Structure 1
């Protein structure tokens, strides 16, 4: 049986769970991290030496790093669907998976940590404001990209790029910040978040 380790309120765990559900895979999910703890237990460190979430156990095949897990699941179980067989279409999908990890996530991390995980009297307002401004600039890049009428990030088919960015944008909409008008992004977000596989995965309490 496949197992995904990690609390669902983690965006990285959400990506892995959404991918597995989209592929119709049967799996168990075990809560670790955050209020559940367990990341420093020897048995978990043996699975994931980074002591972070998520970790995938696919019948003895152990993998960590959320985007690597999403790529693996799609390649192993979703060739031709979540994992495009055409290298150019797959490249477009992969681009957004990496954009989420290398651009958007670092941009929004100070705002998320400051607003959600830091007591109000200990927050750094300047760092939060700079983070929000940087994140909003990237969001407007995404809004402009969607202006050509495409349904999904790699074209007209839902792929792993939509999963990674979908989780990140979902959190962005939940943060208590000022946001620019993004009607196209809102439409895309509604399109991907209404998929059956996304129900119970998105709109999680920020933690």
Structure 2
């Protein structure tokens, strides 16, 4: 049985939970992180020296980094519909997974801490405005891509890339501010909401 370490409210843990739902992978989850067992404990650091969730244990194999985990699970289980074996098709999926981590994920950082977490250290009005502008710019890039495909981020079929991107889209709509109109993103959000795994682990009230 796959073992997942991390609190269910974490957006990165939810990537793994949603991926397991899509691939019908059974798992046991343990609460680690904010509000639960601290990741600074030696027993956790022995698994992930970064003290971050999620971590998985698959038998004697331990892995951290959420995007690496979902790629591993799809490859392990031969999920070619989610993660194609053909080089160009896989590269397109990887491109959007990496874009979510390197660009989109960073763009929302200040706004999320300010508006959702209500962090006292993130209440500078100019910094918030700049953060929202940057976030909106990346979401417009996503809107253009979804308008081009007419369906999902890497093409006309749901893929592994839609898991991190879909959770990012949920965070966009769950953060309280005046959102610019992004019709393709809105339609995508509703399309994803037809999937039980997204309703359970994505559009579930947690930003």
**Smaller-chain TM-score bracket:** over 0.9
Could you state the TM-score of these two structures normalised by the residue count of structure 2? 0.93
Query: Deviation per CA, 1:18-69, whole angstroms, max 9, x where unpaired?
Result: 1111110000111111111421111111111110011011112100011111
Partner of 1:39: 39
Aligned residue pairs, count: 207
Shift of residue 125, structure 1, vs aligned partner: 1.9
Structure 1 unpaired stretches of 5+: none
Distance 1:206 1:142, change over 3 A: same
Runs of 4+ residues over 3 Å off in structure 1: 118-122, 204-207
The alignment yields a C-alpha RMSD, in angstroms, of 1.7
Partner of 2:113: 113
Partner of 2:16: 16
Partner of 1:153: 153
Structure 2 unpaired stretches of 5+: none
Could you state the TM-score of these two structures normalised by the residue count of structure 1? 0.93
Distance 1:122 1:106, change over 3 A: closer
Distance 1:122 1:65, change over 3 A: closer
Supply the distance in 2 between the matched residues of 1:122 and 1:63 (Cα, whole angstroms).
Answer: 32
Conserved? CA contact 2:93–2:160, under 8 Å: yes
Higher relative contact order (CA 8 A, sep 6+): 1
